[in-house]
Amino acid sequence: MTAALPARRPPAGRGLAGLRVPAWLGTPVRRLVTAVAVLWAAATTAYAALLLAPGDTVDILVGDGADTPEIRAQIVAEWGLDRPEAVRYLSYLGRLLHGDLGRSYQLQRDVGEILAGQVGPTVRLTLAAAAVGVVLAVAVAVATAGRSVWPRRIVSAAELVAVSVPQFVIGIVLLFVFSFSLGWFPVSGAADPQALVLPALALGLPVAGVLGQVLREGLERALEQPFAVTARSRGLSERAVVARHALRHALLPAVTLAGWFTGVLLGGAVITEALFGRPGLGRVTMQAVTGKDMPVVMAVVILSAAVYVTISALLDLAYRLIDPRLRSA
């Protein structure tokens, strides 16, 4: 889904995934514990979905694929369906620990293999979109924070629209203007770098909207703080006060949001890839959901949790670098 609103942003000042672990565990240990917890929860949620689904587990795992006695026997063996419930669950976790994401019985290929082949285009798309979002948001926020009323009104209206327009509507507008009318960019595919421009914009603009709002709010709040008054009283120009003092403060809430942006980008990639006919993880996910290929769907859930965990850990580090109060705490 597209970007949600800052009103629903996760509470600031919490660590990885908002989890709290007793302070006596050192920071690196804590980060590891929470990361493992999130991954375990993702794996268990996917597994629970499989169990909760109505009908026979074998039928579900076959999905819309070819249903032969050989495949059924293979499923029973690989998922340990002839063994007790607990053993099944543990062997599922054990398999994941070895990096084995299971097998798609529809495609008769290893899920890991399927996903690995599609990671590249999706990574390119999400990174490009993140860059679009961050660059636009920072530029606009710095340019308008503390300015007179009218530029701020215009920008905040633009942000409101960017936040409210679904990614696929932005995408369709971009397609209509730049592909069909002007012919600047290809309609679909992922062959050349030019084909990345429109999808990245469609995916990145809503992120820019939310991020821009958060940054501008943060800048304006920081500029009202006593330390900003002190900085001005030293003879600093307003631009220097923003650059040297306020921007870092404004970045803090934005950084806590960044883990959430990862989710928005991953989810949005599904829609963007469908709209622009790009290959990638989103396309694979859609095919799997449509064909009820559960092993692939489950693997996508686990993979996205892993991506989230990694990025959160990096951001946690960034947060500590920006805010010394957390370092010594």
Q: Is 166 in the site for other proteins (CB under 8 A)?
A: yes
Scan residues 32-71 and list those touching other proteins (CB under 8 A): 37-38, 41-42, 45-46, 49, 52-54, 60
Scan residues 248-287 and list those touching other proteins (CB under 8 A): 248-249, 259, 262-264, 266-268, 270-271, 274-275, 285-286
Rounded to an integer, what distance in angstroms lies between the CA atom of residue 12 and that of residue 51? 35
Q: Is 169 in the site for other proteins (CB under 8 A)?
A: yes
Q: Identify which of residues 8 and 98 has a Cβ nearer to other proteins in the complex.
A: 8
To other proteins, the closest distance from the beta carbon of 118 in angstroms equals: 15
Q: How far is CA 157 from CA 171, 204, 236, in A?
A: 20, 17, 31
Scan residues 6-25 and list those touching other proteins (CB under 8 A): 7-8, 10-11, 17-19
To other proteins, the closest distance from the beta carbon of 297 in angstroms equals: 4
Q: Is 324 in the site for other proteins (CB under 8 A)?
A: yes
Q: Is 30 in the site for other proteins (CB under 8 A)?
A: no
Q: Determine contact, residues 4/270, Cβ cutoff 8 Å.
A: no
Q: Identify which of residues 83 and 261 has a Cβ nearer to other proteins in the complex.
A: 261
Position among 237, 243, 310, 314 found at the interface with other proteins (CB under 8 A): 237
Q: Identify which of residues 7 and 191 has a Cβ nearer to other proteins in the complex.
A: 7
Q: What angle do CA 151, 157, 160 make, to 5 degrees?
A: 140
Candidate ranges 97-105, 116-124, 130-138, 301-309; the one touching other proteins (CB under 8 A): 301-309
Residue 265: which residues within 8 A CB-CB, separation 6 or more? 126, 129, 130, 203, 207
Q: Identify which of residues 26 and 148 has a Cβ nearer to other proteins in the complex.
A: 148
Rounded to an integer, what distance in angstroms lies between the CA atom of residue 46 and that of residue 295? 9
Rounded to an integer, what distance in angstroms lies between the CA atom of residue 212 and that of residue 134? 8
Q: Determine contact, residues 253/218, Cβ cutoff 8 Å.
A: yes
Q: Identify which of residues 69 and 233 has a Cβ nearer to other proteins in the complex.
A: 233
Scan residues 97-156 and list those touching other proteins (CB under 8 A): 146
Rounded to an integer, what distance in angstroms lies between the CA atom of residue 18 and that of residue 28? 15
Q: Determine contact, residues 312/259, Cβ cutoff 8 Å.
A: yes
Query: The dihedral of CA 216, 221, 226, 227: what is its sign?
Result: negative
Candidate ranges 72-80, 117-125, 195-203, 234-242; the one touching other proteins (CB under 8 A): 234-242
To other proteins, the closest distance from the beta carbon of 97 in angstroms equals: 18
Scan residues 174-213 and list those touching other proteins (CB under 8 A): 175-176, 180
Q: Identify which of residues 141 and 276 has a Cβ nearer to other proteins in the complex.
A: 276
Burial pattern 301-319, b for ≥16 Cβ within 10 A else e, equals bbbbbebbbebbbebbeeb
Q: Is 229 in the site for other proteins (CB under 8 A)?
A: yes
DSSP string, 189-257: -SSSTHHHHHHHHHHHHHHHHHHHHHHHHHHHHHHHSHHHHHHHHTT--HHHHIIIIIHHHHHHHHHHH
To other proteins, the closest distance from the beta carbon of 91 in angstroms equals: 22
Q: Identify which of residues 81 and 289 has a Cβ nearer to other proteins in the complex.
A: 289
Q: Identify which of residues 10 and 189 has a Cβ nearer to other proteins in the complex.
A: 10
To other proteins, the closest distance from the beta carbon of 108 in angstroms equals: 19
